[in-house]
Amino acid sequence: MIDGIDTSTLDDNHLSSFRNSKLGFIFQFSNLLPDLTVLENVLLPRKIQGTMEGAEEEAKRLLKTVGLEAQINKFANKISGGQAQRVAITRALINKPAIVLADEPTGNLDSVSAETTVQLLKSLNRKLNQTFIIVTHDRPQFGEVDKIVTIKDGKIVEGELEASV
């Protein structure tokens, strides 16, 4: 159950639509399209969803929140790795998802950019009341968090998952 929806009952089309509207994704590598600008990369999920009304203003507001308003018209292949990861975070938030899934979001960054990213995720969690589920092999890097679930060899060895998010 995510945001009141039983995802196990959804067919492929509805599941794809659900993922685009209710889940945000941040990957270890930013996966930005290099021939698009920062703004265009952030707007991709809204274009896919077909809900462009107010999208550009929302994207610009989010980019300002993550400190990238000056990079808005730069192409994705012309920004730093840390900036690219902040664009990826913004892209994950553009559809106002119920949950953002982050797979090793600091794994490809230098230590300074990684710490900046961790602090940004924590700040966005508080400021936007956004749920982040973060997969990491560097647990201490994230410091104090609301909940920890440790999985080893596919089994939960510490903590527990709630039945519904």
User: How many residues are recorded in the chain?
Assistant: 165
Residue 163 lies in a domain: no
List beta partners, residue 134: 102
Q: 3-state class of 150 per DSSP?
A: strand
Average pLDDT over residues 11-30: 91
Structural element, H or E, at residue 127: helix 111-128
Q: What pLDDT was estimated at residue 55? A: 96
Q: Is the pLDDT of residue 91 over 90?
A: yes
What lies within 8 Å, CB to CB, of 24 at 6+ separation is: 45, 91, 92, 93, 94, 95, 97, 99, 100, 101
Q: Which CATH number goes with the domain that contains 58?
A: 3.40.50.300
Q: What pLDDT was estimated at residue 56? A: 97
Q: What pLDDT was estimated at residue 165? A: 47
Q: Give the range of the structural domain holding residue 116, as residue numbers without chain letter.
A: 7-158
Q: What pLDDT was estimated at residue 162? A: 66
Residue 78 lies in a domain: yes
Residue 141 lies in a domain: yes
Residue 2 lies in a domain: no
Percent of the chain with pLDDT over 70: 97
Residue 134 lies in a domain: yes
Q: Output the pTM of the full model.
A: 0.86
Residue 164 lies in a domain: no
Angle between helices 38-49 and 81-93 in degrees, nearest 10: 20
User: What is the number of domains present in the chain?
Assistant: 1
Residue 71 lies in a domain: yes
pLDDT, one tens digit per residue, over 97-138 is 989 999 999 888 888 988 999 999 999 999 999 999 988 887
Please, which pLDDT band fits residue 93 given cuts at 50, 70 and 90? very high
pLDDT, one tens digit per residue, over 129-159 is 999 998 888 777 787 888 888 888 888 888 7
CA angle at 45 for the pair 35 and 32, rounded to the nearest 5°: 30
pLDDT, one tens digit per residue, over 52-80 is 999 999 999 999 999 999 999 999 999 99
